[in-house]
Amino acid sequence: MIAGARVRTAALLAVAALVLTACGDDGGDAGGGGGGGGGSTALEGRGPITFATGKDTSGNMQKLVDEWNADHPDEKVTITELPESADDQRNRMIQNAQTESDEFAVLNLDVIWTAEFAANRWITELPQGEFELDQFLAPAVETGKYRDKMYAMPVYSDGGLLFYRKDLLDAAGVTEAPKTWAELTAACDKVKAAPANKNIGCYAGQFDKYEGLTVNFSEAVQSAGGSIVDDSGKPTVTSQEAKDGLNFLVEAKKNGQIPEAAITYKEEEGRRAFQEGQLVFHRQWPYQYALANATDGSSKVANKFGVAPLPGKDGPGVSTLGGHNFAISSFAKNKATALDFIKYFASEDAQRSNLLATSQAPTRTALYEEQELITKFPYLPTLLASIENAVPRPRVVKYGDVTAAMQEAAYGAITGEKSTDEALETLQSELEKLTAE
Amino acid sequence: MTAPALPPTQGGDATTSPQRHGRLAAWLLSPTFLVLGLIVLYPLIASLRESLYRKEEGLDENGFVVEGDNFVGVENFAQMFQGDTADRFWNAFFNTTFFTVVGVTFATVLGVAMALVMHHALRGRGFVRASILVPWAVPTAMSAVLWQWIFQADGVANELLNTQILWTTEGFQAKIAVLIADVWKTAPFVGLLTLAGLQVIPNDVYEAARVDGASGWLQFWRITLPLVRPALMVAILFRVMDVLRIFDLPYVLIGPRKQSVETLSMLAFEEAGQTRYGPAAAYATMLFVYVALAAYAFVKLLGADLIGEARVRTKEAKKRQREVVAA
């Protein structure tokens, strides 16, 4: 019997192993001692460093790093490529911070992670005076700050644009891109009046339940004059403006202006629909411009569309900011080198080369006005207007929970499962809990 | 099941005494137990310990997170059953169970059918076997991406069915999408194990049945199924333990935090992603207990003969011991 029991125990333990591998045990103590610490430690030490970033899809990052390495033989930078998904990148960086490893020196952070990383002392405060911040897009600089101290330097920016079918609007006699939601609806009705366009969708954005919905929802609220949190960080989603904003999406979905399928759209699904000619208006990031203009047959709308700033309730809309900031890990050695490297990546030459290679939006204002670049990327002036007017997403430590709550509320309301009021009241009480200190 | 014939034992023969045997076996097995202890027992205990702690959550006046872990006892577990989190937990519990019961049932039926086809295919046998096994060879996350293409709004599924179902949105259709993808992937596994069982059934049993005039259906019901049962039970047990931990399919195919398909391991992952390792470990521990109970119940009730031989051997040894004592 003893042998039997032992075998059985072993079998159960094997089950345990399977469970644990699947659930990804964090492998060790969370938290632990402070160490490192953010704050006012001087950035010292020179020598080789690593740069942890998401995928370098164009190879331009490597090119810039190679140029840096040629000029700085004693302070060589190595790129550590992290997984492609943003969540996985964040997890890897958090693991690195929790083991207080000096493996990563410079971190390529999504704009929404700054508060969490700064509050946990995972990244070091940066000297504001050394960056010529006045030459950068003001809203982008804001995303690198936590409690008025600078923790991350904006290197890539992003803002929402309204892509519209110029050919269809022209044919329907609409000469200008809509500036308000009412104009957008009216223009779409005119387009749909033509029998050939009877089944075309009016408007879509990113409405699946993920970060894109947070962006679209907060844009709707801001474009109606509301806000998610006020200047002091208190949630304000039960205001009339916030209700009007969400109601625009809810109503448009209800009366079919937002097509049914749009509830499954992330960036790529929406882009395919726009390129197939299934949408009149599409809220999208600038990356769609080149792809939708491809003349190799992949896009049916090449040279048939234009871009405009996002529309709002009573006037121009307010975009939500995207982009990436560079920060220095608190546990890194050679912080002085890291600081120089960030300055190098934020320099005008590096940003220009990046824009040309990847079409990622720069954070230096001057580049948006260079004639040569505008010829290549005609949407740059529109994008500049969009970003200068844009609002960062709530800068809170528990951003992961905040965005989950926002997605829950918006998804429930747009799919018609909850009323707008109900969704926003639940959201308000949850945000109050999450932002309470 | 006949026990292997054992050599008759003489009482008092030291070299072959069962006790000696046991001690030698323990010595020989000890490296294995050591490794198992390191890679199984230690993480298990570490995770259990973690589930009793919770991270400080507040901010100090400068906006920095107050550091440190607090011992909270069973509070992480108690929290699971309170208020909103209770709804979420029971919903995930239900989904997990639903996927397990329905998914394993379909995978078993299909798998047995596949095994019969593979067993009987005369021409192109190798080809049939290989092609049936392809889904099992595709990594689950990859297959989830493939199925996402099929189930997207303008995807193949809607095209073929001539419908406009939004498979990846909240609702029962999302559960069905996950089940279809899961069964597609795992039925070959059941099929493969069943095939192994089929191949050891001697042909003369069937011949005898044919002589007696048994129909094909009767042969399957009275001969094939009972004889293939041990292998099939092992396959089903493995599937049950696997599906209870289902994560990648619903997560990639449908998306995180969608109630219709949220499972227990997704809850644990979600909490860990927000760096709340205590509650995450608590969810993982609950899942572990659930899997262990399900496996135990399965072995007890349905008699999956995973450890059959060992049991027979122990019984035999006991009998011998008794005989020795009696003599």
**C-alpha distance from A23 to closest chain B C-alpha (Å):** 6
- The CA-based diameter of chain B, rounded to the nearest angstrom, is 89
| Per-residue confidence band for B121, with pLDDT thresholds at 50, 70 and 90 | confident
The closest CB to that of A17, out of B40, B274, B307, belongs to: B40
Residue A136, CA distances (Å) to A8, A107, A241, A348, A368 in order: 65, 20, 30, 10, 11
Helix (H, G, I), strand (E, B) or coil at B314: helix
Beta bridge mates, B249: none
CB pair distance less than 8 Å for A15 and B168: no
Nearest one of A362, A10, A87 to B273, comparing CA atoms: A87
Per-position DSSP letters for A374-431, written without gaps between them: HHH-TTHHHHHHHHHT-BPPP--TTHHHHHHHHHHHHHHHHTTSS-HHHHHHHHHHHH
Beta strands (DSSP E) in A62-114 are 77-81, 106-110
Residues 6+ apart with CB under 8 A from A356: A373, A376
Percent of chain B with pLDDT over 70: 87
Nearest one of A123, A98, A104 to A53, comparing CA atoms: A104
Half-sphere exposure (CA, 13 Å, Cβ side) for A295? 2
Residue with tokens 């990148």: A89
Q: For residue B265, which residues of chain A lie inside 8 Å, CB to CB?
A: 22-23
- The CA-based diameter of chain A, rounded to the nearest angstrom, is 88
Q: What is the pLDDT of residues B186-229, one digit of tens each?
A: 999 999 999 999 999 999 999 999 999 999 899 999 999 999 99
Q: For residue A94, which residues of chain B lie inside 8 Å, CB to CB?
A: 275
Residue in chain A lying closest to B53 (CA): A30
Q: What is the pLDDT of residues B26-41, one digit of tens each?
A: 899 999 999 999 999 9
Helix (H, G, I), strand (E, B) or coil at A110: strand
The closest CB to that of B55, out of A13, A19, A30, belongs to: A30
CB A351 within 8 A of CB A363: yes
| Per-residue confidence band for B316, with pLDDT thresholds at 50, 70 and 90 | low
Return the pLDDT at B326: 63
CB pair distance less than 8 Å for B166 and A264: yes
DSSP B152: S
CB pair distance less than 8 Å for A31 and B59: no
Q: Centre a 10 Å sphere on the Cβ of residue B325 and count the other Cβ atoms it contains.
A: 8
* Residue B207 burial class via C-beta count within 10 angstroms: exposed 0-12, middle 13-18, buried 19 and up: exposed
Q: What is the pLDDT of residues B266-310, one digit of tens each?
A: 999 999 988 899 999 999 999 999 999 999 998 888 765 555 555
Helix (H, G, I), strand (E, B) or coil at B277: helix
CB A406 within 8 A of CB A427: yes
Return the pLDDT at A436: 83
DSSP B57: -
Return the pLDDT at A86: 86
Residue in chain A lying closest to B32 (CA): A10
| Per-residue confidence band for B317, with pLDDT thresholds at 50, 70 and 90 | low
Alpha helices in A178-306 (DSSP H): 181-193, 211-223, 240-254, 267-275, 288-292
Residues B56, B57, B60, B61, Cα dihedral to 10° = -170
CB pair distance less than 8 Å for B295 and A30: no
| Mean pLDDT score, B72-88 | 90
Half-sphere exposure (CA, 13 Å, Cβ side) for A244? 14
Gap between the Cα atoms of A161 and A387, Å rounded: 10
The closest CB to that of A30, out of B64, B269, B275, belongs to: B275
CB pair distance less than 8 Å for B153 and A29: no
Return the pLDDT at A85: 82
Return the pLDDT at B61: 85
Residue with tokens 């600081």: A339
Gap between the Cα atoms of B44 and B38, Å rounded: 10
Return the pLDDT at B314: 63
Q: For residue B286, which residues of chain A lie inside 8 Å, CB to CB?
A: none
Gap between the Cα atoms of A416 and A411, Å rounded: 8
Return the pLDDT at A11: 47
Q: Centre a 10 Å sphere on the Cβ of residue A413 and count the other Cβ atoms it contains.
A: 24
CB pair distance less than 8 Å for B152 and A264: yes
Q: How many helices (H) and strands (E) does chain A have?
A: 17, 12
Whether the per-residue pLDDT at B11 is higher than 80: the answer is no
CB pair distance less than 8 Å for B296 and A12: yes
Whether the per-residue pLDDT at B129 is higher than 90: the answer is no
**C-alpha distance from A45 to closest chain B C-alpha (Å):** 25
Return the pLDDT at B15: 53
The closest CB to that of B274, out of A14, A33, A401, belongs to: A401
Return the pLDDT at B16: 57
Nearest one of B129, B269, B147, B273 to B188, comparing CA atoms: B129
Beta bridge mates, A180: A312
Residue with tokens 């290549």: A376
Residue A371, CA distances (Å) to A151, A378, B100 in order: 33, 10, 61
The token duo for A341 is 């490297």
B contact test, residue of A93, A206, A264 with most B CBs within 10 A? A264
The closest CB to that of A94, out of B65, B269, B275, belongs to: B275
Q: For residue B47, which residues of chain A lie inside 8 Å, CB to CB?
A: 20, 25
Return the pLDDT at B309: 54
Return the pLDDT at B302: 76
Gap between the Cα atoms of B293 and B287, Å rounded: 10
The closest CB to that of B257, out of A18, A29, A209, belongs to: A209
Nearest one of A138, A158, A279 to A207, comparing CA atoms: A279
Written as one letter, the residue type at A108 is N
CB A282 within 8 A of CB A274: yes
Q: Domains in chain B, start-ordered, CATH in brackets? A: 88-318 (1.10.3720.10)
Gap between the Cα atoms of A287 and B225, Å rounded: 58
**C-alpha distance from B238 to closest chain A C-alpha (Å):** 10
Alpha helices in A99-175 (DSSP H): 114-119, 138-143, 166-171
Q: Domains in chain A, start-ordered, CATH in brackets? A: 49-158+322-388 (3.40.190.10), 161-320+398-435 (3.40.190.10)
Return the pLDDT at A358: 85
| Per-residue confidence band for B325, with pLDDT thresholds at 50, 70 and 90 | low
**pLDDT by residue, tens only, chain A of 437 residues:** 444 444 444 444 444 444 444 443 333 333 333 333 444 457 889 999 999 999 887 889 999 999 999 999 999 999 999 988 888 899 899 999 989 999 999 999 999 999 999 999 999 999 999 999 999 999 999 999 999 999 999 999 999 999 999 999 999 999 999 999 999 999 999 999 999 999 999 999 999 999 999 999 999 999 999 999 998 889 999 999 999 999 999 999 999 999 999 999 999 999 999 999 999 999 999 999 989 999 999 999 999 999 999 999 999 999 999 999 999 999 999 999 999 999 999 999 999 999 998 888 999 999 999 999 999 999 999 999 999 999 999 999 999 999 999 999 999 999 999 999 999 999 999 999 998 86
Return the pLDDT at B101: 96
Return the pLDDT at A87: 84
Q: For residue B275, which residues of chain A lie inside 8 Å, CB to CB?
A: 30, 94
Q: Distance between alpha carbon A234 and the CA centroid of its chain, in Å? A: 22
CB pair distance less than 8 Å for A23 and B268: yes
Whether the per-residue pLDDT at B234 is higher than 60: the answer is yes
Gap between the Cα atoms of B253 and B178, Å rounded: 7
